[in-house]
Structure 1
Amino acid sequence: MYEFIRRSPAPVTRDEAAESVGISRKLAAFHLDKLVAVGLLDAGYARPGGPRRVGRAPKVYRPAGEDVRVSIPHREHALLAGILLDGVRHQAPGESGRDAAVRAAAERGRALGADERTRSGSGGLVPEKALAHAGEALERHGFAPDRVSTARIRLTNCPFQPLAGHDPDLVCGINHALLAGFLDGLGATGVTAALAPRPGMCCVELEASAPATEDDTDA
């Protein structure tokens, strides 16, 4: 039904949507309203002169203009493209393209981290809790974090594959800068992003520094 509505030159009624896939009007209405709820369709009512049911204008549906992309595992190609565009647009005189892209990645990471910090209201956490918070935030960006110990999170998915395979050094450098900037913007004090390439996984791991001991404090 969604594909039918996207191809239609005019808003589609429930009857038309139901007929397009051979189901009842009631079942079509259920699915159409679900698509509205998740933002893929907009709903309204037919203007005078259009198709009508007795006593009322029929509800009609049109595409909401949102892109639909499904990827398993999760990919963030648009994020990588945005970083590269920022690098090209703001490349400083004498700066290499790689350095510009890495700088743009760090800036984008800090912005993402700051947004997450504002959204969650967190900050000033001890390293282990900051590590856990960072992992939860990066889950939403498709990094598939796996907390292998209290002080280390392995990121088991690279959202920039398969593009990373074309230039691993460049993409890993961008990814490392992005995640380091993210931790900075998040305020994840005591948590660092470390390069740790593994086949089929993200090239970066997150590490929390050990809490200070009484001896360290005295020293």
Structure 2
Amino acid sequence: MAADPAIRAIAALDDELRRGMYEFIRDARRPVTRDEAAAAVGISRKLAAFHLDKLVAAGVLHATFQRATGLRRVGRAPKVYEPTGGDIRVSLPPRQYDLLAGILLDAVLAAGADEGARDAAVRTARERGHEIGADHRRRTRPGRLGAERALTIATGLLESHGFAPARDSPRCVRLRNCPFHPLAERAPDTVCAINHAFLDGLLDGLDARSVTARLAPQAGECCVRLTATT
């Protein structure tokens, strides 16, 4: 199984020299040459090249060949490095606070005049789940989904969102992780309602009519299970 990209990035930055060069390049806010990176941490250019290439392979830095402004075009342009710009986050077990934050922000922006905050959040969660399911259906064109196929597709989508799905039986998927924990501990009714609406919307977007998202709270797990209907 391939390592998570974020874990590879964190592992690459566990070296003090690499971390020092990464911080120097990030703070420079411009392309940095190997010589500059080497000087920043006090090592040779050759050793710096080795560590910089490790950071590129881990997805932490991006490398190009670029000549400094004002220099004569003689010889090959030097290799320069910049941060890739992406966030590096590792959470074990997985958390998806950005998903919940996006749902809540959209709910605030789109709430109707006569709509309460909780109702707006639940509605927005269902819409977000529907978008994810419908987008997958457009891209893959799975055709009419029976219960088995629908549960398989939903399992893959929910795995990527940190729900840690597990097939309890051929007709039931248990979600072993709540990606919004520990916020769910602070407001379980609200977060579970958002979770339920999100998963219900995802199934609707997939047009998975043979599968139902139902509330089935259990300690240490997501409050929702997916069950094939009879």
Which residue number corresponds to residue 23 of structure 2? 3
Q: Is the Cα–Cα contact under 8 Å of residues 123 and 186 in structure 1 kept in the other structure?
A: no
Which residue number corresponds to residue 116 of structure 2? 96
Residues of 2 paired with 1:59 and 1:191: CA distance?
A: 53
Which residue number corresponds to residue 41 of structure 1? 62
Residues of 2 paired with 1:22 and 1:155: CA distance?
A: 49
Deviations 1:186-219 (A, max 9, x none): 1212111011111111111100123xxxxxxxxx
2:48 is aligned with 1:28: no
Q: Is the Cα–Cα contact under 8 Å of residues 123 and 187 in structure 1 kept in the other structure?
A: no
Q: Is the Cα–Cα contact under 8 Å of residues 123 and 188 in structure 1 kept in the other structure?
A: no
The 3-state SS of whatever aligns with 1:68 is coil
2:107 is aligned with 1:87: yes
Kindly state the Cα deviation for residue 26 of structure 1 after the two structures are TM-superposed: 4.3
Kindly state the Cα deviation for residue 115 of structure 1 after the two structures are TM-superposed: 1.3
Residues of 2 paired with 1:176 and 1:21: CA distance?
A: 54
Q: Is the Cα–Cα contact under 8 Å of residues 105 and 178 in structure 1 kept in the other structure?
A: yes
Judging changes above 3 Å, is the alpha-carbon distance between structure 1 residues 137 and 55 closer, same or farther for their aligned structure 2 residues? same
Judging changes above 3 Å, is the alpha-carbon distance between structure 1 residues 187 and 69 closer, same or farther for their aligned structure 2 residues? same
The 3-state SS of whatever aligns with 1:125 is coil
Judging changes above 3 Å, is the alpha-carbon distance between structure 1 residues 9 and 133 closer, same or farther for their aligned structure 2 residues? closer
Equivalent residue runs for 1:58-207 within 5 Å: 58-207=78-227
Q: Is the Cα–Cα contact under 8 Å of residues 62 and 83 in structure 2 kept in the other structure?
A: yes
Judging changes above 3 Å, is the alpha-carbon distance between structure 1 residues 26 and 94 closer, same or farther for their aligned structure 2 residues? closer
Judging changes above 3 Å, is the alpha-carbon distance between structure 1 residues 40 and 75 closer, same or farther for their aligned structure 2 residues? farther
Residues of 2 paired with 1:193 and 1:40: CA distance?
A: 41
Kindly state the Cα deviation for residue 103 of structure 1 after the two structures are TM-superposed: 0.5
Provide runs of 4+ in structure 1 moved above 4 Å: none
The 3-state SS of whatever aligns with 2:57 is helix
Structure 1 alignment gaps of length 5 or more = 211-219
Residues of 1 paired with 2:147 and 2:42: CA distance?
A: 54
The 3-state SS of whatever aligns with 1:84 is helix
Which residue number corresponds to residue 14 of structure 2? none
Residues of 1 paired with 2:57 and 2:123: CA distance?
A: 41
Structure 1 length normalisation: TM-score? 0.84
Residues of 1 paired with 2:32 and 2:197: CA distance?
A: 47
Kindly state the Cα deviation for residue 97 of structure 1 after the two structures are TM-superposed: 1.0
Q: Is the Cα–Cα contact under 8 Å of residues 113 and 184 in structure 1 kept in the other structure?
A: yes
Deviations 1:37-57 (A, max 9, x none): x4753534132457x9x9322
Q: Is the Cα–Cα contact under 8 Å of residues 191 and 206 in structure 1 kept in the other structure?
A: yes
Kindly state the Cα deviation for residue 120 of structure 1 after the two structures are TM-superposed: 2.6
Equivalent residue runs for 1:45-56 within 5 Å: 45-49=66-70, 55-56=75-76
Structure 2 length normalisation: TM-score? 0.81
The 3-state SS of whatever aligns with 1:109 is helix
Q: Is the Cα–Cα contact under 8 Å of residues 60 and 83 in structure 2 kept in the other structure?
A: no
Residues of 1 paired with 2:132 and 2:146: CA distance?
A: 20
Kindly state the Cα deviation for residue 18 of structure 1 after the two structures are TM-superposed: 4.8
- How many residues are matched? 206
Residues of 1 paired with 2:43 and 2:154: CA distance?
A: 47
